Amino acid sequence: MSRYPAKVSLREVGPRDGLQNEAPVPTADKIALLDALGQTGVRRIEAVSFVHPRAIPQMADAEEVWAGAKRNADVAYSALVPNARGAERALAAGFTELEVVVSASDTHNRKNINRSTEESLDGIAELIGTVHGAGGTVEVIVSTSFGCPYEGEVATSRVVSVVDRAAAAGADRIAFGDTTGMGTPTRVTALVDAVRSRHAELPLLLHFHNTRGTALANVLAALQLGVTEFDASVGGLGGCPYAPGASGNLASEELVHMLEDMGIDTGVDLDALVDAARLAERIVGRELPSAVLRAGPRTRRAVLG
């Protein structure tokens, strides 16, 4: 009966990854969402990103958002940074948990930041040194780990080679991003097995998109390998930039709902999370794709009559 871990650590990414992929919203709304999420029992939140405001206007007010948030001392907040300048801003704002992204697909990496994957990894190695010097940690997020919208297949060996370089540079954690929802359970099993066999001690986090409905099946496959860290986004906030109208991030309520029913402790109060998802819907002014938000948890009863 112990084929599943007893506990899972969910990182809520709605305030950053979610809102970054929606139309810009007011600073006060971002703060309200952060504050609401901080009271749900979730213990990790990706709060903001320190990117150039011309590149990503959605996050131009990162410092103001962070300064205005009622931070919960029991929550570990993290920030995404694109480069050394972003890392400086994040550290100056008081963040110690930083994330950087590199794409396993060279085409995707060049399309996003006009550099090759190898060039990005050079920059990341330097950045890790700087952040470690300042007492912080760096998670390296490997995007397109299960497929690339331009290249199609991304070989497991290619993803592993990116992890090798990140690990050699001192990455504190690796995250695999299923950027456009191309992952399926056998791909998850193959990649996790391959990376574990080379980097058994490196903390591993999985970030699934529900673009093609497979996110929770992918979570299940990862749980069976003992993976305990997952990203999810309140309400499923954040669409898929490559398929207008399609879903992006796995909804946090769907993840918590399934895990808790399976007896896996997330620490999250599902009712409070659903309330936060409703707030997220009001903020972005559209219906979010979370199935549990629509239908209610399985404990909800229909009325006889």
Could you tell me the two tokens for 120? 């990005």
* Cα 72–chain centre separation: 19
In the list 251, 268, 284, 288, the residue contacting a copy of itself (rule: CB under 8 A) is 251
Which of positions 51-80 make contact with a copy of itself (CB under 8 A)? Answer: none
CB of 154 to a copy of itself, least distance (A): 11
- Of 77 and 230, nearer to a copy of itself (C-beta) is 230
CB of 82 to a copy of itself, least distance (A): 21
In the list 187, 231, 237, 273, the residue contacting a copy of itself (rule: CB under 8 A) is 187
**Active site annotation includes 148:** no
Spatial neighbors of 65 by CB under 8 A, at least 6 apart, are 15, 27, 30, 31, 34, 47, 48
- Of 137 and 233, nearer to a copy of itself (C-beta) is 233
Which of positions 202-221 make contact with a copy of itself (CB under 8 A)? Answer: 210-217, 219-221
- Of 136 and 147, nearer to a copy of itself (C-beta) is 147
Catalytic annotation, pick one of 59, 148, 154, 240: 240
- Only one of the segments 24-32, 36-44, 79-87, 294-302 lies at the binding site for a copy of itself (rule: CB under 8 A); that segment is 294-302
Q: What is the DSSP string of the chain?
A: -TTS-SB-EEEE-IIIIIHHTSS---HHHHHHHHHHHHTTT--EEEEEE---TTT-GGGTTHHHHHHHS---TTSEEEEE-SSHHHHHHHHHTT--EEEEEEESSHHHHHHHHSS-HHHHHHHHHHHHHHHHHTT-EEEEEEETTT-BTTTB---HHHHHHHHHHHHHTT-SEEEEE-TTS---HHHHHHHHHHHHHH-TTS-EEEE-B-TTS-HHHHHHHHHTTT--EEEEBGGG-S--TTSTT---BPBHHHHHHHHHHTT-B----HHHHHHHHHHHHHHHTS----HHHHH--TTPPPPP-
CB of 169 to a copy of itself, least distance (A): 29
CB of 143 to a copy of itself, least distance (A): 14
**Residue 43 burial by CB count (10 A; 0-12/13-18/19+): exposed, middle or buried?**
middle
**Residue 261 is a binding residue for a copy of itself (CB under 8 A):** yes
- Of 11 and 187, nearer to a copy of itself (C-beta) is 187
Which of positions 147-186 make contact with a copy of itself (CB under 8 A)? Answer: 147, 149-150, 152, 180-182, 184-186
- Of 2 and 157, nearer to a copy of itself (C-beta) is 2
In the list 93, 246, 272, 279, the residue contacting a copy of itself (rule: CB under 8 A) is 246
**Residue 296 is a binding residue for a copy of itself (CB under 8 A):** yes
- The answer to whether 250 touches 235, Cβ cutoff 8 Å, is no
**Residue 292 is a binding residue for a copy of itself (CB under 8 A):** yes
- Of 4 and 63, nearer to a copy of itself (C-beta) is 4
Catalogue the active-site residues.
240
Binding site for a copy of itself (CB under 8 A): 4, 107, 111, 147, 149-150, 152, 180-182, 184-187, 210-217, 219-221, 240, 242-243, 245-247, 251, 254, 257-258, 261-263, 290-292, 294-302, 304
